[in-house]
Chains A and B, each alone.
Chain A
Amino acid sequence: MKETDYAYAVARVRSNENSFLSRQELDSLLAAPDCETCLSRLSGKGWGEPGTTVSDEGVIIDAQLKKLWSFIDEISPDRAVFDSLRIPNDYHNLKAVIKAFINGERPDRFIIRPYTVEPDTIVEAIKERNYSLLPAHMREPAEKAFYTLLEQRKGQLCDIIIDRASLEAALENAKQYGGILRQLAELNILKANINSAGRCAAQKKPANFIEKVFAEGCAKPDTASLRAAALAGTDSIIELLHTVDPKLEQALQEDGIEGFDKACDDMSIRILSRSRYTPLGIEPLVAYIVAAENEIRNIRLILTAKRNGISAERISGMLRDVF
C-alpha cells in the first residue's frame, strides 16, 4: 500500500493522540490514596466500557486494549500490516493453551488480546494434535513445545521453543513491510537474546542448551557470537554488545539486565519519536499503538502497585515514557 492510503487513519490517530494521559495525570494517579480512586479517575477519562462503573483493574485494562485494537482495525486500510505486533500474543496464547491442557485447566483466563489466531483454534489444534489448523509458522513449534512439556516435562525448554518461534515469526512478518515494524521486531530479538544470554551465563547452561535458545534474524550480534559469549560469561556478553551499541553496553554494565531492558525501551521510543514528523504512512499508526500499549502498561503498573500497597516513589521510576 502507498503511504497516501493511510491519510485518513493517520488523521484519526493524530486526533486521538490528544487523549493520552499526560505525565501530570499519571502523577495524580500515583498520588491517589487507593486503587478504587484510580479506577474512578480513569473511568472519568473514558477508560473502560462507556457507562459502566469499573471495580476491577483487569476489566478496565482489557476494555482499553480491546478499544485500542478495534480502533486500529477500523481505521487501517490493511489489518494484516500490524500482525507482527499481534503474533507474540498468539504464541503467548499457544503457551497458555499447552500448559492449561497438560494441567487439566481451562486456558480462558490466560488468553491475551489482540491475536491473529483464534484461541479456540489453538485449543482444538492442541486437543486433537491437529497442528495443521494453525498457521504454517506455528505448527512445528507447537508440536515440539507440546511434546517437550508432555513427554519430557521440560517447562523451561517449552518456553524457549515458543518464545524463540514467536520472535522469529514476528520478524518474518515485519520484513514484508520493512521500516519501523522491522526495526522494532529486530530490537525485540536483540532484547530477548541478550536477556537469554545473561541467564544462560548466570546459570552456566551447557552448550547443547544454549544452542536452542537464541532467535535468528538479528544481524548484529549473530547467534554464533551470542552462543560463544553466553558460554564464556557475562563479561563476553557486555563486550559483544559494544559492537551493537555502546549505550546498550554501558546500560548493561552499569545497571545490569534491568538497565539494559530500559535502554532497549528508550531505543524503541527513539525509533518511534521519528514518526512524530512523518505525515503519512504506517509509522504514525505503529507509534500510536506502541504508545497506547505503553500507557496501558503504565496504568497496569500503577493499579497493581496501589492494590498491593507499593509506594508511589518506587513505581514512578518504573514508568515508561509515553511517546
Chain B
Amino acid sequence: MMAFFQSPHGLVFAILGAALVTLLPGIGSATGVGMVGEAAAGVTTEDPSKFSKLLILQLLPATQGIYGMLTSFLLLSQLGIIGGTPVEITIIKGLAYLFSCLPIAIVGYFSAIKQAKTSAAGVSLVAKRPDQMSKGMIFSAMVETYAILALLISILGNSGIANINF
C-alpha cells in the first residue's frame, strides 16, 4: 500500500487539482456574472444611463474565476508544466496538491453564486436609489472575503507542499 502512494505518478492528481481549481470557480463566476448581467440588462432597458454603475456590480462575482485561474497557474508553474520540465512527484504528494486546491475550488464556486445574488439585489438597489450604489457594492464585496481566505489557504498550502518530501 505504502509503495503505491510513493510511486512517482502523482502528477495526475496535481493536474486534477489544477483542473478543478480552474473549473469550479470559473463555472461559479460565469453563472454569477451571467445572472447579474441579466438583472443589469433589465435596469438598463428602463434607464440606459445606469450602465456604468451596473457594470461594476456585474464584475464582482467574476473574481472567483480569476482566483481559480491564479491558483492553477501557480501550481502548474510549480510542477514545471508551464515554463519548465514537468517534475516527478509521488502519488501522496499529488494528492496533497489536489486537497490543497479544494478550498478555493469549492468556496470559489459557491461564493461566486452567492455573491451574484447579492449583486443582483444591489442592481435592484441601484434601480430604485442610484445614489446608494456604493452600499450595494459593499454588501456584495463582503462575500468576497471568504473567497480570498480560501485563495490564501490554497496558495499557501501549494507552496508549503512543494517543500515537503513525501
The interface of chain A, by Cβ under 8 A from chain B, is 4, 7-12, 14-18, 75, 279-280, 284
Contacts and interface: CB of A to CB of B under 8 A. Distances in A.
A11 B127 contact: yes
Interface in B9-63: 35-36, 38-43, 45-47
Interface centre among B43, B47, B118 (most CB of A within 10 A): B43
A259 to B, nearest CB: 33
Given A9-B42, A10-B124, 12 more contacts: A7-B42, A8-B42, A11-B40, A12-B43, A12-B45, A14-B42, A14-B43, A14-B123, A15-B42, A15-B127, A17-B128, A279-B124
B41 to A, nearest CB: 6
B127 A7 contact: no
B104 interface: no
A3 B76 CA distance: 38
17 contacts: A4-B117, A7-B35, A7-B39, A7-B120, A8-B38, A10-B42, A10-B120, A11-B38, A11-B41, A11-B120, A12-B43, A14-B127, A15-B47, A15-B127, A18-B127, A279-B117, A279-B124
B121 interface: yes
Given A17-B128, A279-B124, A11 B42 contact: yes
A282 to B, nearest CB: 15
A279 B36 contact: no
Contact of A280 (B46, B47, B117, B127): B117
Contacts, number: 60
Interface centre among A10, A11, A12, A16 (most CB of B within 10 A): A11
Contacts of B35: 4, 7
A245 to B, nearest CB: 31
A8 B42 CA distance: 5
Contacts of A8: 38-39, 41-42
Interface centre among B41, B42, B123, B127 (most CB of A within 10 A): B42
Given A4-B35, A16-B46, A17-B128, A11 B123 contact: yes
Contacts of B117: 4, 279-280
A15 B51 CA distance: 13
A161 to B, nearest CB: 42
A318 to B, nearest CB: 28
Contacts of A18: 127-128
Nearest to B46: A15
B41 A14 contact: no
Q: What are the nearest 6 A-B pairs in CB distance?
A: A11-B42, A279-B121, A15-B46, A14-B127, A11-B39, A12-B42
Nearest to B40: A11
Interface string B106-144: 000000000001101101100110000000000000000
A75 B43 CA distance: 12
A10 B39 contact: yes
Contacts of B127: 11, 14-15, 17-18
Contact of B43 (A15, A279, A284): A15
A4 to B, nearest CB: 5
A274 to B, nearest CB: 15
Contacts of B128: 14-15, 17-18
B43 A7 contact: no
B129 to A, nearest CB: 9
A167 B16 CA distance: 57
Interface centre among B35, B43, B47, B120 (most CB of A within 10 A): B120
Nearest to B118: A279
A11 B119 CA distance: 11
B102 to A, nearest CB: 25
A279 B47 contact: no
